[in-house]
Amino acid sequence: MVQPLDILTETPSQTAGPYVHIGCIPSFAGLPGVYPQDLGLSPIAKEANGQIITITGAVIDGTGWALRDAMIESWQPDAAGRFAGHPEADPAVSGFCRFAADKDSGLFTLRTVKPGAVAHRDGGMQAPHISLWIVARGINIGLSTRIYFEDEDNSNDPLLARIEQRPRVETLIAKRTGEGQYRFDIRLQGEGETVFLDL
Amino acid sequence: MTDRPDLGPLIPRQRPMHPVPYDPEYKTSVPRSPKWPLLSMESTPSEETGPRFGHALIGPLDNNLILNFAKDGSPAIGERILMHGRVLDENARPVPHTLLEIWQANAGGRYRHVKDNYLAPLDPNFGGCGRTLTDENGCYQFLTIRPGAYPWPNRANDWRPMHIHISVFGHSFGQRLITQMYFEGDPLIERCPIAATIKARSQLDRLVAPLDMARARPLDHLAYKFDIVLRGRRQSMFENKLEGM
Ligand SMILES: [Fe+3]
């Protein structure tokens, strides 16, 4: 025998199930009035500095079907790359948003400020990106991924550089569809499967 | 434990301690589980920071599911229980002031959700969601009713054990966790394909809350204790504080 380590093990995940909306976005789920409003309705207040953008997409399963019951959370810094809590961060950017696939179309929309580049631990910079966390029935542990932007310089991003199969890099890059408009689909499985992260 | 501030990267997730993403006995996981391995890398500020929520967010009844949807002032129907516990990180340090959200079926096993048409009745005074912040010691509590077991379309006759869904934030987006609490002694846990997505038996046991008579209140409610451990951050004498954090 050896001495025990002073370390605990993380509590295991379980699927968020089909009714995650009741707990996380109850007004959206048809339960208004429990809270004044759902948490994380917008990651920005009106006066946020920077370019306001809209990202639209769907979470698509291995059969090509867009999930109607997915819930997504996003986390990002302000236009200067500072996260909420940093003394100089833009007070109009909370950086956190919760949104769900539409129950009829499966489409989601994230309206936010385009994030700035963020320093990496080794001193280099990460290209501008938004972190996502996706939960739904059938997803046993929340899936993490990132949205990068096709109109930014992604060439020196340390995470994208680690993707060995270069065509898969495209799964993390939102495509510009108009002024301030982007498309970003999340493919859970199959052709064009999104790169999911373990960070 | 140490009072050293959290500066290091997140401790990597031990994936074998979590459910398998793909499990044919839980049929919906089949088309929704990635086939490619995850891309692993040391955490960055994007995972090490995270949203924080203040006490102003929380209403006085938010952690009381017996009363927070009471339309005519009547409490929810069911067996009254206190659910309580602590949120710690892997370094066994309390996680204070972090948001917990729960949701659950009513005493008959039905959710107040448009897609739940199980034949058990809705309770007009039960919504089924609650939230709270942990205190400075990482402790939390909810007053609620024991949820009923319910059938669900999977294999021919699958029933979910009694359970409460729990969402926890921690202080880093990379700590984000959703899980479920089960109840000591429920024979349906052994038969549940969702519980069985966790292959390490000792890990499944950690989701089963023991009856806690020390916190039960005579002539009022029973109590169940449910502690939660979130990812920790590497403790180091040699970590430099990162610019911009
Ligand atoms: Fe459930």
Query: Do the domain assignments include residue B1?
Result: no
- The total domain count for chain B is 1
Closest CB to A197: pick one of B39, B102, B227.
Answer: B39
Q: Coil, helix or strand for B35?
A: coil
Average pLDDT over residues B50-56: 95
Domain assignment present for residue B85? The answer is yes
Q: Specify the 3-state DSSP secondary structure of A144.
A: strand
Candidates A70, A189, A68, A15; CA nearest to B25 is A15
Q: Residue A174 in contact with residue A148, Cβ under 8 Å?
A: yes
Q: Is residue A101 part of a domain?
A: yes
Name the DSSP letter for residue A182: E
Asked if A12 is an interface residue toward chain B (Cβ–Cβ < 8 A), one would say yes
B17·A23 Cβ contact <8 A:
no
Q: What is the pLDDT of residues A79-105, one digit of tens each?
A: 999 999 999 999 999 999 999 999 999
CA distance B50 to B172: 4
Please name the residues between 70 and 109 in chain A that touch chain B, using a CB distance below 8 Å: 73, 75-77, 81-86, 94-96
ipTM over 0.85: yes
- What is the extent of the structural domain holding A107? 20-187
3-state secondary structure of B191: helix
Instruction: Kindly tell me if the per-residue pLDDT of A166 is higher than 90.
Output: yes
- Give the range of the structural domain holding residue B210, as residue numbers without chain letter: 15-38+53-230
Is there a domain that residue B243 lies in?
no
Kindly tell me the burial class for residue B224, based on how many C-beta atoms sit within 10 Å of its own C-beta (0-12, 13-18, 19 or more).
buried
Q: Looking at the domain assignment, is residue B116 inside a domain?
A: yes
Residues of A in contact with B177 (CB under 8 A): 10-11, 13, 142
Q: Is residue B244 domain-resident? A: no
**Angstroms from A175 CA to nearest CA on chain B:** 21
Q: State the CATH number of the domain containing residue A50.
A: 2.60.130.10
pLDDT at position B238: 62
| Amino acid residing at B69 | F
Asked if the structure places residue A195 within a domain, the reply is: no
Report the CATH number at residue B140: 2.60.130.10
Q: How far apart are CA A163 and CA A158, in angstroms?
A: 9
- Residue A13 in any domain: the answer is no
The answer to whether residue A80 is domain-embedded is yes
Evaluate whether residue A194 is within a structural domain.
Answer: no
| Number of structural domains in chain A | 1
Q: Nearest CA to B15 among A199, A172, A194?
A: A199
Asked whether residue A120 is assigned to any structural domain, the reply reads yes
Report residue A92 as tokens.
């109009």
For residue B88, the chain A residues in CB contact (below 8 A) are 8
Cα separation of B100 and B102, whole Å?
7
In a domain? residue A59: yes
What DSSP assignment string belongs to A40-90?
TS-SB-TT-SS-EEEEEEEEE-TTSPBPSS-EEEEE---TTS--BTBTTS-
**pTM score, two decimals?**
0.95
Judge whether B2 lies within some domain.
Answer: no
Inter-chain residue contact B17 with A118, CB threshold 8 Å: no
B165 to chain A: closest CA residue: A16
Residues of chain A with C-beta less than 8 angstroms from the C-beta of B193? none
Domain annotation covers residue A136 = yes
The closest CB to that of A82, out of B50, B128, B244, belongs to: B244
